[in-house]
Structure 1
Amino acid sequence: MASDGATAGTRRTAGSRSLRSTWRLRLLPARPGTCAKRIHIADRLREKTSIRTIAAELGRTPSTISREIRRNGALWRGTQWTYRPHVAHRRAEQRRPRPKPGKIGRNPELREFIQYHLAIRWSSEQICHVLRRLFPDRPEMHVAHETIYQALYVQGRGELRRELTKALRTGRARRRPHRQSYKRLPRNISHMVMISDRSAEAADRAVPGRWEGDLIIGKDGKSAIGTLVERTTRYVMLAHLPLDHGAASTRDSLIETVETLPPHLRRSLTWDQGSEMASRKAFTLATNIPVYFCNPASPWQRGSNENTNGLLRQYFPKGTNLAVHTCDHLDAVAAELNSRPRKTLGWETPAERLAKLLASAS
């Protein structure tokens, strides 16, 4: 009877242990390395269960369980390996203090490089790719653009100066969804030549000299700056409009701007359906550059120019008087944009790409 009782007691003990382990397993949270999971590991190790079986019970790989035992276990009397769950949990928590200093915060050279280029209005993606080009054999100088955003946005890190968010494209410290596009009123411009009549070679950007243009408008619509972007190189030129942006002033300013270009870079100009281009025939007669118009509410037909106008708003914010900017200042802004590496150009700058085209033509 004693034997039977001992056997029954052993069975009850084993059954209770199995039930206790099953109960723990059901209550384990999804996050790995919690104290409850470590208790389960310790229980199963005392039962001489294999690491592979424990891993299957916890839904982890055997290497994860083995690594947990090696990192947070201890040698008993210098020979036997022991695993105590609460001690292991304390060791793991002490090893991973939060918040950890980020990669940018740990590397002063990297932080200074990023802060300097943010201050001159480079995008995070431009900075990341230039870092890889300048320091190909130094992985400590490589970061993802999201790392830069986190260093700017996440409260408490302080890895980058908070005021640098003003130098980002939007100037905002958080991301916002795009607003809905608005409907534009039709413009009364007679005898427009539409973009569908433009040469097919302009669409693939293979031949330089195809330009896209538009105006960025200042406070109360009373001032403006003309913007021109070459489709192949993304090279930017700005037209000075100090008095007004009527048809005559826009025509004269554009003529003065494009006269600096060699003949093979004067193939066509694509513009929005704005009334400022009412004198386009006089512009074409003076420069030998035909003007084509986009379809209504189709800004993607001048995608390079629309993107550039967004970049220019960092220098010329909405709601400000654009007439106060001198021609020299416009040239300086254009030069700064043309010296930025561009993803679409394989991280070359527009100035570099244009220089290559001019060198090959000569």
Structure 2
Amino acid sequence: MPSRLKGRVSVTQRPAVVARRGRFGDWEGDTLVGRGHSAAIATHVERKSRFLLAATVPRRTAAAVNQATRRVFRALPPLLRKTLTVDNGSEWTAFPILQATLGRRVYFAFPYAAWERGTNENTNGLLRDYFPNPTNFSGVRASQLAKVVRALNNRPRKCLAYRTPMEVLRARLGGALRI
């Protein structure tokens, strides 16, 4: 994979366990862009449980997305912070800072290969049920987004044998999930 960014690691170099959803702690990240292409929602979905973390960002810049990503991952125990797979958007250009502050590897999907982050793309589609185009995310309050995230994390999924992402993650953590 040709790289514009020094040190960028391809999705093909992720451990095999990530591709087969064999452990908890592997995440996919993206930004959901609204009207005007300035404000956005940074989304992060855990691959095995489909658990969603999200935060509004005032501008879709690398600094703003890094800050939001650090904020949402801060509360997670280390066993839930292993890898992050993202697209090639400019909001991820400061990934070395993100790797250093989170202590985890960031992998990059191939350009125009959304299926390599299919869990995140599917979840972004579910978020669009609540925030249809052309929503301007600068008007979305944190409490409003938190309510939607809570609803999606408590929504049964066929792929989880009709359990919810919250149930799956709580079972893994022995019920000790405080997010």
- Structure 1 CA distance, aligned partners of 2:65 and 2:101? 13
Find the counterpart in structure 2 of residue 195 from structure 1.
Answer: 11
- Structure 2 CA distance, aligned partners of 1:299 and 1:212? 11
* Equivalent residue for 1:321, pick from 100, 114, 136: 136
**Which runs of 5 or more structure 1 residues have no equivalent in the other structure?**
1-185
* Equivalent residue for 1:234, pick from 46, 50, 53: 50
Instruction: Give the residue type in structure 2 aligned to 1:220.
Output: G
Deviation digits for residues 53-85 of structure 1 (CA, Å, limit 9, x no counterpart) = xxxxxxxxxxxxxxxxxxxxxxxxxxxxxxxxx
Q: CA deviation at 1:340?
A: 0.6
Q: How many aligned positions are there?
A: 176
* Equivalent residue for 2:162, pick from 326, 334, 347: 347
Q: CA deviation at 1:348?
A: 0.4
Find the counterpart in structure 1 of residue 109 from structure 2.
Answer: 294
Change (3 A) 1:311 1:360: closer
How high is the sequence identity, in percent, across the aligned residues? 39
Find the counterpart in structure 1 of residue 26 from structure 2.
Answer: 210
Instruction: Give the residue type in structure 1 aligned to 2:44.
Output: L
Higher percent of residues as strand: 2
- Structure 1 CA distance, aligned partners of 2:150 and 2:5? 33
1:245 and 2:60 equivalent?
Answer: yes
Change (3 A) 1:191 1:203: same
Instruction: Give the residue type in structure 2 aligned to 1:321.
Output: N
Provide the TM-score with structure 1 as the length reference: 0.47
- Structure 2 CA distance, aligned partners of 1:245 and 1:359? 36
What RMSD over aligned residues (CA atoms) do the two structures have, in Å? Answer: 1.8
Q: Which has the larger radius of gyration?
A: 1
Q: CA deviation at 1:188?
A: 4.0
1:331 and 2:146 equivalent?
Answer: yes
Find the counterpart in structure 2 of residue 271 from structure 1.
Answer: 86
Instruction: Give the residue type in structure 2 aligned to 1:334.
Output: V
**Structure of higher RCO (CA pairs closer than 8 Å, 6+ residues apart):** 2
Q: CA deviation at 1:220?
A: 2.4
CA contact (8 A) 2:39 2:56 kept: no
Q: CA deviation at 1:187?
A: 8.6
**Which runs of 5 or more structure 2 residues have no equivalent in the other structure?**
none
Provide the TM-score with structure 2 as the length reference: 0.93
